[in-house]
Structure 1
Amino acid sequence: MAKPHIANHYLQATIRGAQRQGHDACSLLTQADIPNDWLGHPEQLITEQQLTHLIKSVWRATRDEFLGMSSERCNNGTFALMCEYCISSATLGAVLRKSAHFYRIVCNNLDIAMEAHDKQVFFRLHLKDARNDTDHLLQEFLILMWERMSCWLVDQQIPFAHTQFNYPAPSHEAEYQAMYPGELKFNQGVCGFQLHEKYLHLPVVRNEQELREFLQAAPAYILHRPSQDESLRSRIQALLARHDYVDMPGLTTLGELLHMTPRNIGRKLQDEGTSLRKIKEAQRREHAVRLMTTENLSIAEVSEQLGFSETAAFSRAFKRWTGCSPTRWQSNHNH
């Protein structure tokens, strides 16, 4: 059995909306195979599987995907219907736009939209009326759903620049550090998350069969925390991800952000078997390969998004990375 690592806080927070509707706490916990005497014992951590089962028991009891924590019910199956509507999209950007359009139509209590500003994209995901979300669990869960779904659809961990909330840091703030990648911002005007616009072009690589398995297991994948990489390389990769490939910061700027000297950064990266140049090149290579799987992007468009001034320069770099030209690689992988 997986090691428990989720705060006990989430037992009470998950069932509070159902209790408000008159459902019995002991019955909900029993359905999830969680001992009733665990409730209210902060030292008793729970597993992702236990929280998954508890959320499912609350969904069944309330017939509400919003767990009884919204001023309006969201019928069970709504999220699945949205995913089915979006799965045929070519890119992550298309999924985010379509999902926002879908929920604006079916959920009056959700302020959801995608806004672009200076090459950064903010995905607003905000409860208009949060009076019933006293523990902020629904708001947490909504953001987690969209961030984890986005990563799953493109099969990579997207380095979100920041995740923000319109309330003060809660007592269980340590859980947020594990749940949400990137910077956390509290006391903001609205809730949502930000990412660089280049990630909107990542191709959706999941198919309908994989989606069915994803939904059948829900919310298991959404609650699963990816392993944390504490290496300097990983920290630098996350910082570089906030920039265009044309203006990725150098050692001096990274040193200021990381409170390290450029010399120490170079030495530590060398100890990890890499360098800033190799990290930047690897990011360009990985992004190029992913973009090349999107059939509606030309080689010239991929070259431009990766910051190359000429398509010929990109072609030379791509052949150095992969051993073949972009044209041949595209022909081999898109048919």
Structure 2
Amino acid sequence: MKRKLVSNHYIQACLHGPLLADIDPMPLLERAAVPAELIHQPNARITEVQLANLIKAVWRSTGDEFMGLTARPCKNGVFALMMESLFQFKTLGAMLQQSIRFYNAVQDEIEFNLSCDGDLVDISATLKQPQYDPDHLLQEFILLMWQRLSCWLVNTQVPIHTTRFNYAQPDHVDEYPSMFGDHLLFDQSTARFTFSSKLLTLPLARDPIEMELFLRQSPLEILRRVGSDHSLSTQVRRQILKQGLEQPPTLEEIANRLHMTSRTLRRKLKDESASFQQIKDQVRCDMAIRLLTEESLSVAETSQLVGFTEQAAFCRAFKNWTGVSPSLYMSNQATQ
């Protein structure tokens, strides 16, 4: 798959907040595998993975999900708490209303609003002190977050009708259509995007386990174009997650649930350049990393929870997945 490239404008924009806080940007660039010399190359481009890793490094260094681009920080973890609050609701409209109520209640730096006018829904984000965000990075990221989150929650595209920006058209405007659609308006009174109100009735299509994986992969999952994923590989992954890793389903069991033979399942996975074992290993790897780093479980506990009867076998598998042992992986994460 071809990797999407983005303008080097976003490197400089990401570093604005840390520089204001007297944080050395060099370690942040190193963590994101972004060569420092690219900062001074206007035509340089980086991958969306590098950009996601740079944003994550900024979050960690500033302790601020607003990346140091507001007068007061938004503590790391607020987005995850908001996500957890959504699973009591059943439709996209109810979830969006809850997410906006949540953010307006926990911070005062950005005012969020959702309104419905006939056939269109309007989501706006107004920075109270926009001078802290001179490159409009936070403004754009917030709008993008709401649109991509909407797509992810209902597992289908939520096409943008129009996106309005409360600033002049920037030099890197060519980046915008892939993020905000083709109908762009600048120098508007507020920053907002609109989409069809018919989509508000779409049902929640995710579960808490999928949410954990989404959060662990963020902000990459926000930067990527999120759409409906009905691939067989994804269906197999969900079946494994739903049953659990301590006693994961066999290929034959999953094939039966998907109303096909195990031979057909193997063939169709091969057509997607995947295999049952690869998918199961990826699920185990993702879960192991989360248990070790976010829940601070021991190697022995993690080994059991991801389906290994012997800790030594788990350690060998983990090193094969990540290139390092579980203990070294935890040590590296602790120093970041």
Q: TM class, shorter-chain normalised?
A: 0.5 to 0.7
Q: Which amino acid aligns with 1:30?
A: E
After superposing on structure 2, the runs of 4+ consecutive aligned residues of structure 1 that deviate more than 2 Å are 1-4
Aligned to 2:55: 55
User: Quick one: distance in 2 between partners of 1:147 and 1:195?
Assistant: 9
Aligned to 2:11: 11
Q: Which amino acid aligns with 1:198?
A: K
Secondary structure of 2:46 counterpart: coil
1:90 paired with 2:100, answer no
Q: How far off its partner does 1:15 sit?
A: 0.9
Q: Which amino acid aligns with 1:88?
A: Q
Is the CA contact (8 Å cut-off) linking 1:166 and 1:187 kept in structure 2?
yes
Aligned to 2:32: 32
TM alignment of 1:249-268, pairs within 5 A:
none
Q: How far off its partner does 1:58 sit?
A: 0.5
Q: Which amino acid aligns with 1:55?
A: I
Is the CA contact (8 Å cut-off) linking 1:120 and 1:194 kept in structure 2?
yes
Give a deviation string over 1:106-163, Cα, whole Å, max 9, x none: 1101111111222322112221211110100000000000000000111111112111
Aligned to 2:318: none
TM alignment of 1:266-305, pairs within 5 A:
none
Aligned to 2:151: 151
Distance verdict in 2 for CA 1:225–1:40, change over 3 Å: farther
User: Quick one: distance in 1 between partners of 2:166 and 2:36?
Assistant: 33
User: Quick one: distance in 1 between partners of 2:181 and 2:152?
Assistant: 15
Q: How far off its partner does 1:226 sit?
A: 5.5
Secondary structure of 1:171 counterpart: coil
Is the CA contact (8 Å cut-off) linking 1:70 and 1:129 kept in structure 2?
yes
Aligned to 1:299: none
Secondary structure of 1:104 counterpart: helix
Q: Which amino acid aligns with 1:68?
A: G
Q: Which shows bigger deviation, 180-189 or 64-73?
A: 180-189
Q: Which runs of 5+ in 1 are unaligned?
A: 228-335
Q: Which amino acid aligns with 1:156?
A: T
Is the CA contact (8 Å cut-off) linking 2:152 and 2:226 kept in structure 1?
no
Aligned to 1:183: 183
Give a deviation string over 1:46-82, Cα, whole Å, max 9, x none: 0011011101110011000000001121000111110
Is the CA contact (8 Å cut-off) linking 1:29 and 1:54 kept in structure 2?
yes
TM-score by length of 2: 0.65
User: Quick one: distance in 1 between partners of 2:163 and 2:68?
Assistant: 24
User: Quick one: distance in 1 between partners of 2:42 and 2:158?
Assistant: 32
How much identity, in percent, do the aligned residues show?
41
Q: Which runs of 5+ in 2 are unaligned?
A: 228-336
Aligned to 1:309: none
Q: Which amino acid aligns with 1:49?
A: V
Is the CA contact (8 Å cut-off) linking 2:148 and 2:226 kept in structure 1?
no
Is the CA contact (8 Å cut-off) linking 1:104 and 1:111 kept in structure 2?
yes
Is the CA contact (8 Å cut-off) linking 2:71 and 2:129 kept in structure 1?
yes
Secondary structure of 2:130 counterpart: coil
TM alignment of 1:1-335, pairs within 5 A:
3=3, 5-225=5-225
User: Quick one: distance in 2 between partners of 1:200 and 1:42?
Assistant: 40
Secondary structure of 1:87 counterpart: helix
Q: How far off its partner does 1:216 sit?
A: 0.4
User: Quick one: distance in 2 between partners of 1:22 and 1:225?
Assistant: 33
Is the CA contact (8 Å cut-off) linking 1:124 and 1:193 kept in structure 2?
yes
Q: How far off its partner does 1:185 sit?
A: 1.4
Q: CA RMSD of the aligned region, Å?
A: 1.5
Distance verdict in 2 for CA 1:226–1:103, change over 3 Å: closer
Is the CA contact (8 Å cut-off) linking 1:9 and 1:40 kept in structure 2?
no
Is the CA contact (8 Å cut-off) linking 1:92 and 1:199 kept in structure 2?
yes
Aligned to 1:267: none
Give a deviation string over 1:8-51, Cα, whole Å, max 9, x none: 11111111111110011212101212111121212221001101
